[in-house]
């Protein structure tokens, strides 16, 4: 009988020590777990931003300085870029000269020297860019 009381007292003491230890160290445990969770969320947010940037269309705006075959030389600031136009390239031009502007379908033949255009591309080899879409402006 005495042994049962001793065992019960020891168990109660161990439980009390565990509760006290938890109460003392609770903030330390939470402070270790929360930054880990915050870091995971931040990493996920950073990856989402990277994915958004990678999904953004690549584009350039310039003035047509040369047309040769299915290639356009575009002056962008002081640089010249070679734009390759293929059968998949979508070409549009502005219909209105004032707001609201409206884009209508156009052809490669509509592109003229000194035209201001926007080229959207997904492939480039460093010096040549394959156009996905070309938008011509009236100004």
Report how far residue 30's alpha carbon sits from residue 16's, in angstroms, rounded to the nearest whole number. Answer: 21
Q: How confident is the model at residue 94 (pLDDT cuts 50, 70, 90)?
A: confident
- pLDDT tens digit sequence for 100-130: 778 889 999 999 999 999 999 987 777 789 9
Q: Domain extents for the chain? A: 1-56, 58-136
102 vs 83 pLDDT, higher one? 83
The beta strand positions in 10-113, using DSSP E, are 58-68, 71-76, 79-84, 90-94, 103-105
pTM higher than the cut 0.85: no
Report how far residue 48's alpha carbon sits from residue 54's, in angstroms, rounded to the nearest whole number. Answer: 10
- pLDDT tens digit sequence for 12-44: 788 888 777 777 766 665 565 555 555 555 666
Superfamily of domain covering 58-136: Copper binding periplasmic protein CusF (2.40.50.320)
Report how far residue 126's alpha carbon sits from residue 3's, in angstroms, rounded to the nearest whole number. Answer: 85
pLDDT of residue 91: 93
Name residue 90's beta-bridge partners. 133
Does the pLDDT at position 66 exceed 90?
yes
11 vs 61 pLDDT, higher one? 61
79 CB neighbour count, 10 Å cutoff: 9
């Amino acid at each position: 009988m005495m042994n049962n009381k001793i065992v019960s007292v020891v168990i109660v003491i161990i439980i009390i020590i565990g509760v006290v230890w938890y109460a003392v160290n609770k903030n330390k445990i939470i402070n270790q777990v929360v930054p880990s969770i915050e870091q995971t969320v931040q990493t996920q947010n950073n990856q989402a931003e990277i994915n958004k940037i990678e999904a953004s269309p690549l584009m350039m705006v310039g003035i047509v300085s040369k047309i040769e075959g299915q290639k356009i030389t575009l002056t962008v600031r002081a640089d010249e870029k070679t734009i390759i136009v293929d059968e998949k390239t979508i070409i549009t031009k502005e219909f209105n000269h004032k707001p609201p502007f409206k884009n209508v379908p156009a052809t490669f033949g509509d592109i003229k020297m000194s035209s201001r255009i926007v080229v959207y591309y997904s492939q480039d080899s460093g010096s040549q860019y394959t156009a996905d879409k070309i938008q011509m402006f009236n100004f």
